Amino acid sequence: MSFIRLEQVEKSFGKTKVLRGLNFEIKDKELVAIRGASGSGKSTLLYLLGGLDQPSTGKVIIDNKNLSTMGDEELANFRNSHVGFVFQFHFLLPSMTCRDNILLPARIGGRETKAVGKSTDELANILGVTHCLQKFPFEISGGEQQRINIIRALSLRPKILLCDEPTGNLDSKNSEKVANLLKSLAADYGATLLVVTHDDKVASFFPRKIVIEDGQIIG
């Protein structure tokens, strides 16, 4: 049974149609790469899947919930409880230490931060960034920021891990490392992984690929 289902999804910004009648299904815990050139609509698709935006027409159904009919409060709760985002530019808040950055989704969701803190320590240990937790983002390297970014995305054990060009700034060797890391973490956490990339090589690391061009799925 599908975990994510898109039915005739279209998205327009003004007169510009960015997504055109998308239909596809993704199974629970599936590892998927969404590949497309710049401007193909792949990021817009990712935002729809993450509940950051709503389709102009059609349905986005995730975990039997129709995101297209949800209100702002409901969508916010959905993003907090179901989705982990990994952004290309890490986007760690400069006013907080890395640990506080990681705990932020838990605080926003009104969760118990003690338990989240414990799993954070474990994951930081696995990824080798324990020494970064008390530091501010500007005090650590780009690679360490990327790993903190991933820990934050996984902090609430999301059902879906959405990554937007997570290897955009990396060379091919490190891209492969990050792709493998995401795959293994998603498998460990039982999350469905969707990685948006423009890079064919990065897409090739994932068992399933959705290719998008001019707002339509072509493969």
Partner 1 sequence: MKSGSYASIFEIVLHGRSSGKILLATIFSFTFSIAVILCTFGLMDGFDHLLKSGLRHSSGDLLVSNQKGFFPLTETLKKEINTIRPYSMAPVIQTEAFALYQGKSKGVLVRGIESDNFSKTTGLKVQVAPEGIVIGEELARQLGVKTGDEIALAFGRGNGSALPSVKLFKISGTIEHGIYQKDLRFVYLRRDDLSPLLNLNNWINLLIVSTADPSVQLEDLEPIRDAQKKLRSELPQEFLVKPFWSEYSFLIEAVKVEKFSISLVLQLIVVVAVFNIIAFVIYIMEKKAQDFFFLRAVGLSLKNIMRFWLISVVLIWLISCVGAHLLSKLFNYGLQNLPFLQIPGEIYVLSSLQIRLDLKAYLTVYAVCFLWILLAAFIGYLRLRRKPIIEGLRQEFSA
Residues lying near partner 1 in the complex (CB under 8 A): 43-44, 47, 50, 52-53, 72-73, 75-77, 79-81, 85, 87-89, 91, 93-96, 100, 104-105, 107-110, 113, 164
CB of 186 to partner 1, least distance (A): 18
Q: What is the DSSP code string of 188-199?
A: HHT-EEEEEES-
Tokens describing residue 217: 């799925």
CB of 21 to partner 1, least distance (A): 20
Residue with smaller CB distance to partner 1, 73 or 173: 73
- From the CB of 12, what's the least distance to partner 1, in Å? 13
To the nearest whole angstrom, how small is the minimum distance from the Cβ of residue 109 to partner 1? 5
Phi and psi angles of residue 206, each rounded to the nearest 5 degrees, phi first: -105, 145
C-alpha–C-alpha distance, residues 97 and 63, integer Å? 33
Closest to partner 1 by CB, 135 vs 208, is: 135
Given the complex with partner 1, which of 113 and 130 has the nearer CB atom?
Answer: 113
Of 67, 157, 144, nearest to 98 (Cα)?
A: 144
Burial-class residue 136 by CB neighbours within 10 Å (0-12, 13-18, 19+).
Answer: middle
Which CB sits closer to partner 1, 2 or 77? 77
Helix/strand/coil percentages in the chain, nearest 5: 40, 30, 30
